[in-house]
Chains A and B, each alone.
Chain A
């Protein structure tokens, strides 16, 4: 009887390990951000189209905002642009753009042609601010709460599904004084 018990237990263990692997398969390509639950990185960068003015992380203290990293060189950014415009129309929270390693002129043309969903866009020519946020590919979006804590990160395009499933519940829950 014990003859079969050991292989059976080993097989059971293997099933459990593989099941965990399959469960996590959809997140395989996504690297969890260590920033979640921690204060959003500080930055102070020139504003797109108004380089005399600085955009800094302190400007948004006390409100929810979605920090969206994009660039005109990024295909997925074009794909998510429609959703960004929808977010802007919903007026639930402001979008703060980070124009990452981009040409200012092209970025302005992009916003004129496709519509500008952002409350403000900061320009990151050196790429240092993006690194500070742990960005590794555009688009990426970070949900920041009124205390300035990063609550959630979207890697890849912001879709309606992600917005309603992952962003909205966090924002409405937080504004009701929860968490």
Chain B
């Protein structure tokens, strides 16, 4: 009885995993694990240009399949990851990279969050300091609160 109780969830899990494998869009096999890892990394970091929030690796459209095939062939031909990335960016622009590179056009994208955080911290620090100063001037804040 206990045995069966344990197998059921396992079976369900196995079914789910199998379904996932069957649903996988890309079944490309590279000749070596090293190439497979590079291929997988590249197809996950490049955007499918047709269905723009999917990675090449996950997209079922024909263009994504063609681009994956091209990446496979470039890697097999001995191209480096940087060369593959540069090839795609030269044709599709920075937009194809899920993680945009730092350049004059994307600087604001990278720097704005930090700048805004610093600005926020500065404002917060000033507000806290001013309140603290107000509190220090007040000889008996608790009493005042009681009166008010």
Listed in ascending order, the chain A residues whose CB lies under 8 Å from chain B are: 31-35, 41, 101, 126-128, 130-134, 136-137
Please determine whether A34 and B66 come into contact, CB atoms closer than 8 angstroms: no
Which of A33, A34, A128 is the most central at the interface, judged by chain B CB atoms within 10 Å of its CB? A34
Q: Among A34, A101, A137, which residue has its beta carbon within 8 angstroms of that of B91?
A: A34
Q: How far is the CA of A1 from the CA of B143 in the complex (A)?
A: 32
Q: Among A34, A35, A134, A136, which residue has its beta carbon within 8 angstroms of that of B50?
A: A136
Q: Among B62, B66, B90, B93, which residue has its beta carbon within 8 angstroms of that of A31?
A: B93
Please determine whether A128 and B66 come into contact, CB atoms closer than 8 angstroms: yes
Given contacts A128-B70, A134-B91, 8 further A-B contacts (CB under 8 A): A31-B49, A32-B93, A34-B89, A34-B92, A127-B66, A131-B67, A136-B92, A137-B49
A residues less than 8 Å from B63 (CB atoms)? 127, 130-131, 136-137
Q: Is B98 interfacial (CB 8 A cutoff)?
A: no
B residues less than 8 Å from A137 (CB atoms)? 49-50, 63
B contact residues, total (Cβ < 8 Å): 13
Please determine whether B50 and A131 come into contact, CB atoms closer than 8 angstroms: no
Q: How far is the CA of A153 from the CA of B70 in the complex (A)?
A: 23
Q: How far is the CA of A33 from the CA of B95 in the complex (A)?
A: 10
Please determine whether B95 and A31 come into contact, CB atoms closer than 8 angstroms: yes
Q: Given A136-B49, A137-B50, A35 and B66 touching (CB < 8 A)?
A: no
B63 to A, closest residue via Cβ: A136
* List of 8 A-B pairs having minimum Cβ-Cβ separation, nearest first: A136-B49, A134-B91, A127-B66, A34-B93, A134-B92, A31-B95, A136-B50, A137-B50
Q: How far is the CA of A47 from the CA of B89 in the complex (A)?
A: 29
Q: How far is the CA of A34 from the CA of B86 in the complex (A)?
A: 12
Please determine whether B62 and A127 come into contact, CB atoms closer than 8 angstroms: yes
A126 to B, closest residue via Cβ: B66
Q: How far is the CA of A31 from the CA of B93 in the complex (A)?
A: 8
B residues less than 8 Å from A32 (CB atoms)? 93
What's the least CB distance linking B90 to chain A, in Å? 6
